[in-house]
Structure 1
């Protein structure tokens, strides 16, 4: 799944910017994950200069350019949240383990990220 950034509203204010933390208006990025909390939805997007593990964005500021769901993605519903992401990121505590430097979580993140970046190439026409 790939999306094009249409607009960026700076998180420290209510004003538009052209670029923020490696994401630039008009550019296309792979979606690493989709998370929905009640009525709020966010997508994790990774740009070439975005620090890992990417940033969570409101999808209202993006448009889909490639709707293909990557292989290995699963949908889970738990604790009031819906997650659509690779199954290896769906285990309980994955993101906490990742941020605490757990070697298995870091390896799972790197492996899935590599797969997603490789599969996010434009489809053949």
Structure 2
């Protein structure tokens, strides 16, 4: 799944900007994860120089350009959230383990990231 960035609202300043952490308005990026909670929907996109693991963005600021969901993705509903992501990221505690530097979580993150970037065209196209 790929999306085109329509606008960026700076996370700290709450003002529109043209680029932030390698994501720019008009650029096309692979989606790494989608998270819905209550009425809010966010997506994690991978830019060419986005710091790991990237930020969750308001899905309303993007439009879909490729609807294909990557193989191995699953939909999980738990803890009041709906998550669509690679199955390796869906295990309980994955993001906590990732942020604590657990080797398995770091390896799973890197493997999925490489797969997503390899399947995507060059950044911004």
Equivalent residue, structure 1, for 2:31: 31
Equivalent residue, structure 2, for 1:88: 88
Q: Which has the higher contact order (CA 8 A, sep 6+)?
A: 2
CA RMSD of aligned residues (A): 1.1
User: Normalising to structure 2: TM-score of the pair?
Assistant: 0.94
Structure 2: unaligned runs, 5 residues or longer: none
Cα shift at 1:85:
0.2
How many pairs does the alignment contain?
Answer: 122
> Matched residues in 1 for 2:81 and 2:66: separation?
25
Structure 1: unaligned runs, 5 residues or longer: none
User: Normalising to structure 1: TM-score of the pair?
Assistant: 0.94
SS in 1 for 2:110: helix
Cα shift at 1:14:
2.9
Cα shift at 1:116:
1.2
